Amino acid sequence: MSRLDAFIRRMQAQRACIDAAAANLGGLTGPILELGLGNGRTYDHLRVCFPDRPIYVFDRHVAAHPDCIPPTQFLRLGDFRATLPGYLEEGQPSAAFVHADIGSGDERASLRLAADLAPILVKILASRGYLACDQPLVEASLEKLTISGVLDGGRYHFYLRRD
Ligand code: SAM
């Protein structure tokens, strides 16, 4: 598979997870969390899919397209390892959906970051909430979900918090 094919499949899997969360949240209340603003592509899609929910956005810095810069009150800048505990300390409500696109070119560092964040993500996520991540996450309360034909390549990971 060419790198272009792999990139397109990753984007398709990413979009499919966000769309599946939007279709399945039902009456579960709570905000959306976006980890990894990047250039704002997925943030923009989240805004379309969840027009009535607050979307809190986490990144080290803002380097997004000018049309995709979140309002300041929903922006949490700094290392995820500090800003996610900070979100909990603010007393913010549990998230109905967390989308975490946190990987870099360094595969080992990305896996380590995901392992560091998994326990705090589970604390932030509401019971029966959904979590999509570009890295695999291992937590007892996370049930791995499939989306037929889309997540088979392991490019994206979709979970439901069971309890
Ligand atoms: N979802 C974005 C989009 O659609 O444009 C792309 C996100 S990009 C793959 C990953 C982002 O995560 C980068 O913007 C990077 O700055 C951020 N990031 C990576 N590690 C981080 C960390 N430890 N703390 C805060 N931000 C981090």
Pocket residue to mutate for ligand 1, from 80, 107, 112, 155, most atoms within 8 A of Cβ? 80
pLDDT single digits (tens) 44-65 = 999 999 999 999 999 999 999 9
Look at ligand 1, atom 23, and give the residue with the nearest C-alpha: 79
Average confidence (pLDDT) over 9-18: 95
For residue 154, pLDDT beyond 90: no
Average confidence (pLDDT) over 136-142: 95
Mean predicted lDDT score pLDDT of the chain = 96
Chain-centre distance for alpha carbon 129: 12
Average confidence (pLDDT) over 29-44: 98
Under 8 Å between Cβ of 99 and 79: no
Start-to-end CA span in the chain (Å): 38
Under 8 Å between Cβ of 102 and 80: yes
- Tell me how far the alpha carbon of residue 6 lies from the centroid of ligand 1, in angstroms: 19
Look at ligand 1, atom 12, and give the residue with the nearest C-alpha: 36
- Tell me how far the alpha carbon of residue 101 lies from the centroid of ligand 1, in angstroms: 6
- CA of 78, closest atom in ligand 1: 25
- pLDDT value at position 163? 81
pLDDT single digits (tens) 69-103 = 999 999 999 999 999 999 999 999 999 999 999 99
Pocket of ligand 1 (CB under 6 A): 36-42, 59-60, 79-80, 101-104, 113
Residue 157 to residues 18, 98, 133, 146, Cα–Cα distance (Å): 11, 12, 5, 8
- Tell me how far the alpha carbon of residue 122 lies from the centroid of ligand 1, in angstroms: 19
- pLDDT value at position 104? 93
Find the Cα–Cα–Cα–Cα dihedral 152, 158, 162, 163, rounded to 10°.
160
